[in-house]
Structure 1
């Protein structure tokens, strides 16, 4: 049975538990970017906060990915004996957030869901995540557990329906905006002895990527068969270039992937000075993923915010230039936004 979440953006709720008054919108973007060759009709946006944290706005809802709002100098625990230090500041503070309707959490790791975020977010905030993360988020006791956590394994899907209070029956009976969320494969640790050791030790948590399909359901929205995609976003999550990713273009053969958010950085543990293990893609793996997925456009994120990153963004830029793909990438700095057009259905 397909899981279903209904969001009503007209029922505004504070993003954090101690928020009484909060902004009605995100801070004005430092720079707004459009598709290099296919701009026009933009009705959705992606705001880059920093590391893997973005905020997607469409049809009145805001969906936030991997919330991390630590500042330069703050530390995170990344595994037994491994810490990372933040090098940058986010585009806004945690308590400067406007209304957030749902969170996509790729995995339960402190650089993607830091302690301050975990302590502060309202407990009724819907979170879509991995089975591993759900176990942690829902087992904190009556007052501390999150109450709306949905878990998706690889290639499992759910729908997020957007229904605004006050919408007339006639209007709502024509089409309902919805986001189809599907878990995508991801692996921090490559197959082999290291993977088996990690399974035993639980040093690095299981991770997901995501496929987001923004579109509309016909009628009252009760039938998933009527869903028509209008824009498709693949989020790699923290993964290496593992064989499991090859299944993605097979499953989506003939279906355009409009945008890929790729997690880069070449994260190394315990540190770049002692790079024993790389757990996220570097530039060379990143360009291979671009070739594999073949999205219409790529936006790199998760590339310079912590001192555990070994592969700078400039390396990826050079790889894209060598491959002749400079017109198929947009680079966002923190507080930049990318605007794009979601079609009525295709």
Structure 2
């Protein structure tokens, strides 16, 4: 299987948006974190990387001078997002930072082309040559607009395909990031999938394995491994992940929760769940067995039916409460990528 390559230069500073308001300067850094958290089992104080929680599934990973943003969603409380034919949702929260207050962003990791992960404001505003790694479906949509609005630096990864991101650096151990597409399934049954193929309400989705490390003797040495579940249900396809990573530690899992229902929780039992609820979230932890888990995508829209409190209760009953870090919007988690 061919491995794609992408090079990022931390010194190449451009705003993440193409419509930065006139007279507005580009911030050097993210806003100060409301609270800084580390591993619950303690720290040696040598953290060299961080994860900032913006809201929904939007996080910003900082390491080796670069910033990776996941699933950019910057709508505000009261804004509507389109989720499919005749289906919309209202945002309940505000993001930790506004889109035009972001500092330099070097790469976007987009799990799927859906309004609560890539909203209409983001789609209109992002710089067109900003690198984006996403699904083949999303790439088709992002690159098939008119010449002025098409994104020009989009890279597609299907399940278990990989890309190496080289980071330009003067240090001897050149930092690299290896990104692999992981399985994800947003639609629960084959029957509903056939219906969805016709109405195209719910797009195909990826999870990701993001490995931070260094080039070592023409190979890649992992220093920290992050699994991002993406908007998936607990499906059999996910069982392939622990098989492929047997004997390899997964340091952190970002898990998309919320028990999202379409069209709305108010229409239960007719509504269909399309992301993991608390019970499935616990089962995924037991399947993947990460060292630590951070839940995201849990309370930002009115289609979320499974609150974070349910997930906390499930983990406490299972005796796993010390293996989770909970972030509120604008909280930051700091960790160490080993040499």
What is the TM-score when the length of structure 2 is the normalising length? Answer: 0.96
Contact 2:225-2:249 within 8 A present in 1 as well: yes
Q: For residue 263 of structure 2, give the secondary structure of its aligned residue in structure 1.
A: strand
Q: For residue 175 of structure 1, give the secondary structure of its aligned residue in structure 2.
A: coil
Alignment of 1:175-186 (within 5 A): 175-186=173-184
The Cα RMSD (Å) is 0.9
1:39 aligns with 2:37: no
Q: Which residue of 1 aligns with 2:312?
A: 317
Q: Which residue of 2 aligns with 1:330?
A: 325
1:30 aligns with 2:34: yes
Separation in 2 of the partners of 1:201 and 1:158? 32
Contact 2:228-2:253 within 8 A present in 1 as well: yes
Separation in 2 of the partners of 1:54 and 1:38? 23
Displacement of 1:38: 3.8
Alignment of 1:92-131 (within 5 A): 92-131=97-136
Give a deviation string over 1:303-338, Cα, whole Å, max 9, x none: 000000000000000000000001100000000000
Separation in 2 of the partners of 1:73 and 1:328? 34
Q: Which residue of 2 aligns with 1:273?
A: 266
Displacement of 1:203: 1.2
Q: Which residue of 2 aligns with 1:210?
A: 208
Alignment of 1:273-292 (within 5 A): 273-275=266-268, 276-292=271-287
Q: Which residue of 1 aligns with 2:236?
A: 243
What is the TM-score when the length of structure 1 is the normalising length? Answer: 0.95
Q: For residue 67 of structure 2, give the secondary structure of its aligned residue in structure 1.
A: strand
**Gaps in structure 2 of 5+ consecutive residues:** none
Which range is displaced more, 125-134 or 190-199? 190-199
Q: Which residue of 1 aligns with 2:255?
A: 262
